[in-house]
Structure 1
Amino acid sequence: MGHMLIEQRLRKPLPPKMVSEFTERFGTRFSLSLPVREHHGRDESPFPNMLPDAVVFAESRDDVVFVVKACSEYGVPLIPYGAGSSLEGHLLAIEGGISLDVSAMNKIVSLNVEDLTVTVQPGITRKQLNEQLRNTGLFFPIDPGADASIGGMASTRASGTNAVRYGTMRENVLGLEVVTAQGKVVRTARRARKSSAGYDLTRIFVGSEGTLGVITEVTVRLYPQPEAVSAAVCHFPSMQNAVAAVIQTIQMGIPIARVELMDSNAVKASNAYSHLNLRETPLLLFEFHGSAAGVQEQAEIVQEIAREHDGMDFEWANLPEERSRLWTARHNAYFAGLQLRPGCRASTTDVCVPISRLAECIDRAGELLATASFPYTIVGHVGDGNFHVLMLLDPEDSNEWQESEKLNHALVEMALSVDGTCTGEHGIGLHKLGFMHEEHGEAALELMWALKRAYDPSNILNPGKVLPTL
């Protein structure tokens, strides 16, 4: 169905000399095989596979520098690849070229417990990082659901379930090591918690989706593991009631760690997929962090707010295994949704709006989706105004694809009309290119293109992504 939107462009074959150089340098870590290329030519977006011409498995910064310099010399596109969990087509080789897999670059470079920072290679995933931090009393809180790589999370400016308390990758990346399109190694910042020295290069690369440079190290903030953690589920008679409770909670400044919304369709899917027995009504899933007394106080206040909005009494999950089961179910909501329609392909959107406009936007989203001819679910990190719609489509039915795109456009238009954004955390990739003009305007896009041309004058780094044609 994605072929209706974007086709893979015609491209030249890899230069034989380049193939020879890569074979000599990387041996079996350079692959031209179809199965390997197919694996690196698809993601979780609604687009068809778009295969690279070859895949290189990097193990070091020097490997990355070698590949980038060769691609620059021969004019070959280069797409960085981490965990492959993209939802918007970021990894697809629209112009062919080299997929640079950095998943083997998954080590901790330096851990500074006293400073609450860690520097890691880009291929380490958030779960791998937290497993290695387990005995330090610290943790990395950014949790997009999928076990994404830290480099990929920085590249898409990811956030997730903990963002309402701990922020997004934008706030938690202190510095980067990046290989530029010319093969130069640049450090964007030092480990100090703040700096006023020059342009903020870190913020430029965070969220650039591999179009300005290839990340080889990431320095991030860490946080003390909370003394007490408690999670609770609260059911509501309607989405409106649930969202109203969230808005009041946030406006009162209660420091909840997580608050997730699931509509009745998402709850039904999660019950079946994760073997739960939740009431199939809209619900909020809360988590509270802090001291034992602080957690209790937060929970009591939020329970009262929920009751004011016709929420039921909290159902508690205090034991680690109970909390893990609940949050695993929430993280698997995407895959659970797919099971509502076996054989389907999902198209998603993840608009984000000011918290004061969240209720009306979710109301409007419900009205729009009520007309859909296909199943859907709504979930959201509603504590920061971000919600996701998962549309479950028949991959052989072009009418459903067109209908879903109209709904997607309507949802984004609604978000932009209240000063929101077309994407809270998924990024632009290919799927949201069409919204960049309206969200940013011509003058801002001209500045972005000026950056792209300055950083990547030959346009070899993940071409065709993020920036629409002016």
Structure 2
Amino acid sequence: MAFDAAFSELATVLGDRLSRSKSDLDAHGGSETHFALAPPDAVAYPQSTEDVSRILAICHAHGVPVIAYGAGTSLEGHTSAIRGGVTLDFSRMADILTINQGDMDVVVQPGLTREDLNRELRATGLFFSVDPGANASVGGMAATRASGTTTVRYGTMRDNVLALQVVLADGRVIRTGTRARKSSSGYDLTGLFLGSEGTLGIITELTLRLNGQPEAISAGICAFDRMSDAVEAVVAVIQMGLPMARIEFLDADAVRAVNAYSGSEVRETPHLFVEFHGSQASVAEDAERFGEIVADFGASGVEVATKPEDRSALWTMRHHAYWACLGLKPGATAVVTDVCVPISHLAQAVEETQADIAASIIDGPILGHVGDGNFHAILLVDPAQPAELEAAKSLAARMNERALRLGGTVTGEHGIGMGKLAYMEAQHGDAWDVMTDIKTALDPKGILNPGKVVRG
């Protein structure tokens, strides 16, 4: 094989932490969505930044592709080894290095998952706020500039990563940012690597912003007869400045799916899920005001949950919605796509998307983090029916085109990977060429996650 010399050197460095077993390769070449299996030629399990540096130096010398791999929860083929090479599995770099309680930040390794991080933080009175739903690794979340259910209040990974340690394609190790809360010193390299999807460097350490655990939390759910009313209610709540920690939307099909999956008995109509953080008095007042606003848009069955177990059950329903939707069509896979539009155009974007799906040959539940104009369609397809996959791809294409027409973006949180490369030029124009120039400067041999984000 073309890479045998490199693998021989890597085996000397890593020993049994370099795997070439078929089961290991296949486990790292799959996708949670519709993309075909694309396994690497080897899987490496680094335990330190020094390991990553040595691996990259060897791979750079031999022109071997390198793909970073966290929890494998990405949806646009980000970790597929479409040109072979080495996948770096960060499951053995999953430690909390330092908790700076007084400064409300934490230094972690990239393989740590967000749920494990928050479990360790419970005793400190702090928490890490970004919640994409899946139990993703924080390194992967940074690489895709993830967001999620709490973005409407706490922001995306862009707002919650203070500094990074990054290994460049040739093995050099750099640090970006500091633990200070602001800086006017030079280019924002931290921002550059956030969302680069492993194409510019490999993240080996992150300094994350933390928040204080709220004194009180109140969650709620309410039903609507029409999807347009639910979405317009969201817009009204946002425009009135109600300080929500989360506000999520599920259409009738998504509610039907989570009922079947979780055994719940929620009325099968469009629903909003909402949560407020603050003092006992403030969350009670916010929940009451929310109920008054949404009532003007026909909301009914407003239920409030303040007990932790009730809130957990509510958000478990939302977080399991993807798997629940797959259950609507046994044996199905999905084209899972997201777009994000200015909040004033959200109702139009959702309504047009729903009508488009209704006119197609496939089903596609809609849900999303509508508080920031971001929503998803889970387009269900039978892998044995090519016509269904083509129909789903056509629907996704029209969603992307609609989002751009309305002043939005083709992805609010899933990222580009392979799945949305075709829309980069339409969204960015000549700026996409600038991204390619940056990629070439930092990775002249093109070994870092090739075939993703940029041309070539």
- The two structures have a TM-score, normalised by structure 2, of 0.99
Are positions 1:467 and 2:454 aligned together?
A: yes
| Secondary structure in structure 2 of the residue aligned to 1:188 | strand
CA RMSD of aligned residues (A): 0.9
Are positions 1:170 and 2:158 aligned together?
A: yes
Are positions 1:428 and 2:416 aligned together?
A: yes
Separation in 2 of the partners of 1:201 and 1:445? 18
One-letter identity of the residue aligned with 1:459: G
Deviation at 1:18, TM superposition (A): 2.2
Q: How many residues align?
A: 456
Separation in 2 of the partners of 1:418 and 1:266? 25
One-letter identity of the residue aligned with 1:325: A
Deviation at 1:372, TM superposition (A): 1.9
Are positions 1:14 and 2:3 aligned together?
A: yes
One-letter identity of the residue aligned with 1:90: H
| Equivalences for residues 110-259 of structure 1 within 5 A | 110-259=98-247
Match of 2:439 among 444, 452, 458: 452
| Secondary structure in structure 2 of the residue aligned to 1:103 | helix
Are positions 1:391 and 2:363 aligned together?
A: no
1:95-116: CA deviations, max 9, x gaps? 0000010111011111111111
Separation in 2 of the partners of 1:356 and 1:376? 23
What's the counterpart of residue 366 of structure 1? Answer: 354
| Equivalences for residues 293-312 of structure 1 within 5 A | 293-312=281-300
CA contact (8 A) 2:112 2:138 kept: yes
One-letter identity of the residue aligned with 2:356: L
| Secondary structure in structure 2 of the residue aligned to 1:226 | coil
Deviation at 1:161, TM superposition (A): 0.2
1:60-79: CA deviations, max 9, x gaps? 11110111111001110000
| Secondary structure in structure 1 of the residue aligned to 2:177 | coil
Structure 2: which 5+ runs fail to align?
none
What's the counterpart of residue 273 of structure 2? Answer: 285
Deviation at 1:468, TM superposition (A): 3.2
CA contact (8 A) 2:201 2:448 kept: yes
Separation in 1 of the partners of 2:86 and 2:448? 10
Separation in 2 of the partners of 1:460 and 1:50? 16
CA contact (8 A) 2:436 2:455 kept: no
Match of 2:69 among 47, 60, 81: 81
| Secondary structure in structure 1 of the residue aligned to 2:140 | helix
Separation in 2 of the partners of 1:274 and 1:317? 18
1:111-159: CA deviations, max 9, x gaps? 1111111110000000010000010000001000100000000000000
4+ residue runs of structure 1 moved beyond 6 angstroms?
none
What's the counterpart of residue 333 of structure 1? Answer: 321
1:179-222: CA deviations, max 9, x gaps? 00111110011110000100000000000000000000011110
Deviation at 1:446, TM superposition (A): 1.5
Match of 1:96 among 61, 84, 89: 84
What's the counterpart of residue 3 of structure 1? Answer: none
1:210-241: CA deviations, max 9, x gaps? 00000000111100000000111100011111
1:258-280: CA deviations, max 9, x gaps? 00000010001101111111100
One-letter identity of the residue aligned with 1:125: T
Identity %: 52
One-letter identity of the residue aligned with 1:346: A
CA contact (8 A) 2:357 2:363 kept: no
What's the counterpart of residue 9 of structure 1? Answer: none
Structure 1: which 5+ runs fail to align?
1-11
| Secondary structure in structure 2 of the residue aligned to 1:457 | coil
Separation in 2 of the partners of 1:72 and 1:468? 20
CA contact (8 A) 1:13 1:53 kept: no
| Secondary structure in structure 2 of the residue aligned to 1:376 | coil
